[in-house]
Amino acid sequence: MYVKGAKSEGLAKAGQWNQFKLTVHGTKASLEMNGKSAWEADGLEGPEEGFFALQAEVRRPLYIVRA
């Protein structure tokens, strides 16, 4: 998904753990990085069920922790 105006500059902490919160409700979605808003979108289209995937570009190993 591409969100016009989305930005993460200054929100990620290099060399530290970063926290992401993605909220999707109906056709609306928003992303917070380390407690600060990165973007909001409305008017999403697509299937009502299926798989969800994240992609990260990192130089070190990326560890995903399930809560």
Instruction: Examine residue 32 and state whether it is found in any structural domain, yes or no.
Output: yes
Instruction: Examine residue 61 and state whether it is found in any structural domain, yes or no.
Output: no
User: What string of H, E and C letters represents the secondary structure of the chain?
Assistant: CCCCCCCCCCCCCCCCCCCEEEEEECCEEEEEECCEEEEEEECCCCCCCCCCCCCCCCCCCCCCCCC
Instruction: Examine residue 5 and state whether it is found in any structural domain, yes or no.
Output: no
Instruction: Examine residue 35 and state whether it is found in any structural domain, yes or no.
Output: yes
* Domain ranges, residue 25: 17-45
Given a cut of 70, whether residue 63 has pLDDT beyond it is: no
Instruction: Examine residue 65 and state whether it is found in any structural domain, yes or no.
Output: no
Claim: this prediction has a pTM higher than 0.75: no
Given a cut of 70, whether residue 36 has pLDDT beyond it is: yes
Whether 25 and 35 have beta carbons less than 8 Å apart is answered as no
- Per the structure, the count of domains in the chain is 1
| pLDDT confidence bin for 34, thresholds 50/70/90 | very high
